[in-house]
Amino acid sequence: MEYNPFWDAPKRVNLAAAAGRIAFLRRERRLLLDDSHNGIRCVAVLGQRNEAIDAVEEYCRYLGAALEKHAFSFEIARVEWATKGWRRALRELRQKVGNERNTWVLLQYTALAWSRHGFSLRVPGIIRSLKKNGARCAVVFHDVEGYFGNRLVDRIRRAAQLHTMRKAVRLADFSIFTVPAEKIPWIGRNSRSVVFIPVGANLPSPETAWSQEKDRVKNLPTVAVFSLSGNRAGAEEVESTAQTVRYVAERMGALRLLVIGRHSEISGSQLNERLMGTSVQVTIHGLLPAEEVVQKLGASDVLLFTKGPISSRRGSAIAGIACGLPVIASEGWETGSPITEAGVVLIPETAKNEFGPALLRILTDAAYRAKLSERSRRAQEIYFSWSAIAARYAKELRTRGARR
């Protein structure tokens, strides 16, 4: 009998492997096609609301609207454990999520959303419950580190939070972090289940601010401050802001300080007191509709961000970038790309006295200001726009859904 190489043992093994590979690729292709034609359902799961304005809920609404253009449906489910109790709240969550094959749960993590005092130990159990019910689960980390403090309770809380976050990463199908993973010390460097996607500004069409005329009241340059803290940190922000604009006013003359957003009424009155007798005109607008925030920022020359170090999860700082402004901010351990690619002037965290010279140069050097503005607009287009963010989400959800 003549030898036929087609039937030798090695060839039979290779053919079996090839057939298995073809079947796998066909399955992947079928899932991707099904998802693209039938759409993928996303349910953003939020914990208890902590403030009247929930920035995480706003984030989800902007993300959901952008994902609809990628054939995703998007719902928001809030786990109201503080008012309904954990058992009832989780039962209602499972009923809402259901067990449809094309459903992704995006659990939004901040420690205070899942515990009154920041002990967020129930989060891993929620992930287990959802996956047991058939859902695919991703965790979106808006908090990326444990809370600070040196008291015993602070150290215990921090350990609990780190334990919770590590466990959540292990249990989830994958995790989304709003700062680069290499900046977070407790994440394994080679983890394939971790994706970095920065947040966007919770503003509608901030790009409309790019062509807006600057609001030069009596030819005064305008410095914007958007959203301040309402606690002890707020007093430090007020002092830093006052020192910065006072430095500039003493060297270039009158200017206008525009204060908008959360806690601006209280902080604005404090700024008025500290700037009394100077040539700084303080204008306080308080909380405004998002469309008006875009208008006010677009009419400003620069955003001064004194609310701690800037990073890709600080939406109030990214609002300035989104509106095409130069931004002055402190640099911290979270600061990295793509923030460093935008028109952000970074000041060492321990050198707050450098804010004044940085602001003076931006306001007096038109070419430098224009260059920084162009960098901010470019970063918005590539990284921080909701269309760019949604494209990243869509890619990850489709790819990881097909692998399952």
**49 or 110, which is more confident:** 110
H, E, C per residue of 336-366 = CCCHHHCCEEEEECCCHHHHHHHHHHHHHCH
Extended beta strands in 179-301, E state = 194-196, 222-226, 255-260, 280-286
| Cβ neighbour number for residue 265 with a 10 Å cutoff | 12
For the chain, what's the residue count? 404
pLDDT of residue 336: 94
pLDDT of residue 19: 55
| Cβ neighbour number for residue 227 with a 10 Å cutoff | 24
Is residue 39's pLDDT more than 90? no
pLDDT of residue 18: 53
Q: Which residues pair with 45 in a beta bridge?
A: 77, 107
Q: What angle do CA 114, 203, 209 make, to 5 degrees?
A: 160
Q: Which helix (H) or strand (E) element contains residue 160?
A: helix 152-171
Rounded to an integer, what is the distance from CA 122 to the centroid of its chain? 23
Closest among 37, 39, 56 to 106, alpha carbons compared: 56
Residue range 374-391, pLDDT digits in tens:
999 999 999 999 999 999
Which residues contact residue 84 at a Cβ distance below 8 angstroms, ignoring those fewer than 6 apart? Answer: 92
Closest among 67, 77, 187 to 135, alpha carbons compared: 77
49 pLDDT band, cuts 50/70/90, is confident
Burial annotation 82-103 (CB, 10 A radius, 16+ → b, else e): eeeeeeebbeebbeebeeeebb
Is residue 319's pLDDT more than 50? yes
Closest among 367, 350, 368, 370 to 358, alpha carbons compared: 368
91 pLDDT band, cuts 50/70/90, is very high
- Averaged confidence pLDDT in the chain: 88
Residue 280 main-chain phi, psi, to 5 deg? -90, 125
What CATH number was assigned to the domain covering residues 39-200+387-403? 3.40.50.2000
pLDDT of residue 14: 53
pTM greater than 0.75: yes
Segment 82-105 shows an average pLDDT of: 90
Sequential DSSP letters for 104-118: EEEEEE-GGGS-TTS
Is residue 228's pLDDT more than 90? no
pLDDT of residue 166: 95
- Residue ranges per structural domain of the chain: 39-200+387-403, 206-384
In eight-state DSSP terms, residue 302 is E
Query: Among 44-53, 77-86, 174-183, which is the least confidently predicted range?
Result: 44-53
Instruction: Determine the topology of domain 206-384 in CATH.
Output: Rossmann fold (3.40.50)
Segment 123-149 shows an average pLDDT of: 93
Distance separating alpha carbons of residues 108 and 55, to the nearest angstrom: 11
Burial annotation 270-294 (CB, 10 A radius, 16+ → b, else e): bbbebbeebebbbbbeeeeeeeebb
- For 378, counting Cβ atoms within 10 Å of its Cβ (0-12 exposed, 13-18 middle, 19+ buried), the class is middle
Residue 185 main-chain phi, psi, to 5 deg? -65, -25
7 pLDDT band, cuts 50/70/90, is very low
Q: What angle do CA 321, 323, 328 make, to 5 degrees?
A: 40
Segment 253-282 shows an average pLDDT of: 89
Share of the chain above pLDDT 90, in %: 72
Distance separating alpha carbons of residues 10 and 256, to the nearest angstrom: 80
Domains 39-200+387-403 and 206-384 share a fold: yes
